[in-house]
Structures are given as C-alpha cells and as structure tokens.
Amino acid sequence: MRRCFLQALMAGPMAVALSRTISAKNKVFTVFTFGDSILDCGRYNEYGVHPGQLIVRNNDFLFPELKGRDLLSQAASMTALLDHRARDGGVVDNLSWQARGIKATGPAVALVTVGGNDLLAGLAADRGEGIACFQQRLDAFLQALPVRPVLLGTVYDPTFGDDSRNFLATDARIARPKFNRINAVIRRIAPRYGELVDVHLHFLAGDPSWFTVTIEPSLRGASEVRTVFLPAVLRAFHAAQNA
C-alpha cells in the first residue's frame, strides 16, 4: 500500500509536467527499453523505480544529486517519452515479442540488456552451440529492430568477479568462461547497431548494496544502471535535437 501511495504521489506531478512539456514542443524523442530486469527492476524497490524512468525524468526526491541530469531537463526543441518494453526474466528469445507493433519511428534510442537469464537458464553450463545460437538470435533481433541507435548493455556480475561467491548450481570454473563469452558476443555486436554500454565494468566498481535478491538491481542499482546508460542516451538526444 505504501509503495502504491508513493508511486502515485510522485507520478501525479510528473504526469502534469510531462503533458505541459509535450504540448509546448512538437518533436518527440522516444526511449525504448528491451530485455530483462537490469532495465525492468521496479518490482525490486519500494518506489517502483527503474532506469528508463530516471533517464527521462530523474526522481529528485530520491536522487537529488542527479537533478537536471535527465532528458526532460535538457529538452530544448523536443521532448522525451519512455516506451518501456523490457520485462523481468527476459531472454533473447523474448526480444521479438517485446518489440511487437513497433514500426518506423521518429527520433529514438533503444536500450537493450539481455544474456543474464539465458546464462541462468542453461548457457552457464552449455557445452554445445548455445552461445553461438544466442549470438545469432540477438543479431537477428537488432537487425530487424526499426530503432537506431541501439545501446546494448553487457551483463553484470553480482559476485564482483569472486568465484567463491558463486550462486549457480554450475561450477564457477565452467560458468565464468560462458559468462565472459556472452559479454564478448555483446561487445562484438553492439557497434554494428549503435554503441556498447559496459554495465559489467561499471558494476565491478560497486558494492553489494547495488543488488537485492542476490542478482537484481536494488534502488541504488537501478540508479547506477541509469548512470551508465545516460551519457550515450544524452548524446543521441542532443544529436536528434540538433538534426
């Protein structure tokens, strides 16, 4: 109940401000999210906050140090909207379903995080062609997606590189090379469609408070995901405004 009240309290003024902003500007820049709980982590904090929301409009109550570091605060000739399609538990095979109904768009950016649940679902122990299939499916999804640029995030590591903290049923000596291969695939594909966002590297400098329920972004974690994506989103936004 408290969570619903807090969400409603914060959403009301934001919705009014957003409607006024949209009416004052004609061009709209859309932020799309696809993938998994790295981007769809609102259920893991009491405020229902997730990175896409914070990129479009910072929550100045929760994160006053980032006031003004959002799209709506920097909008000049256009405004920004969020089309949030990422889903907790998402895997590479879900991505096309998440993108259903999207046609050619106006100015936009796509944020994508995928791979963690694929590892949990079996790729961490895969000894066959699983990772090659993951690469083919991710590449096919991005090629068909009518949104550019794509900001493709690496998979973070809740163990901070410490195999003694392994939470998988698979031995870390088997799982870690697969984890590294998934991120290598992401790094290889990202420049074809836009830009790499190294979530993994950013989170290695964090601490356990960035996570909850072992592997999910906490409230702080949601803000940190926002932080690592934000520079690339702002570059795309300013380029669209200046086009």
pLDDT of 185: 98
Nearest to 230 by CA among 117, 112, 151: 151
Question: What is the mean pLDDT of the segment spanning 6-29?
Answer: 53
Domains of the chain, earliest start first: 2-18+40-242 (3.40.50.1110)
Q: How many Å apart are CA 241 and CA 39, to the nearest integer?
A: 25
Please, which pLDDT band fits residue 25 given cuts at 50, 70 and 90?
A: low
Could you give the angle at the alpha carbon of 126 between the alpha carbons of 154 and 110, nearest 5°?
25
Q: How many Å apart are CA 121 and CA 119, to the nearest integer?
A: 5
Q: How many Å apart are CA 233 and CA 55, to the nearest integer?
A: 8
Is the pLDDT at 195 greater than 50, yes or no? Answer: yes
pTM of the model: 0.89
Q: How many Å apart are CA 196 and CA 216, to the nearest integer?
A: 21
Is the pLDDT at 1 greater than 90, yes or no? Answer: no
Helix (H, G, I), strand (E, B) or coil at 228: helix
Q: How many Å apart are CA 135 and CA 208, to the nearest integer?
A: 30
At 143-178, the pLDDT tens digits run 999 999 999 999 999 999 999 999 999 999 999 999
Matching residue, tokens 């807090």: 6
Matching residue, tokens 């973070």: 156
Q: Which residue has the higher pLDDT, 75 or 93?
A: 93
At 104-136, the pLDDT tens digits run 779 999 999 999 999 999 999 999 999 999 999
pLDDT of 82: 97
Please say whether the beta carbons of 137 and 94 come within 8 A.
no
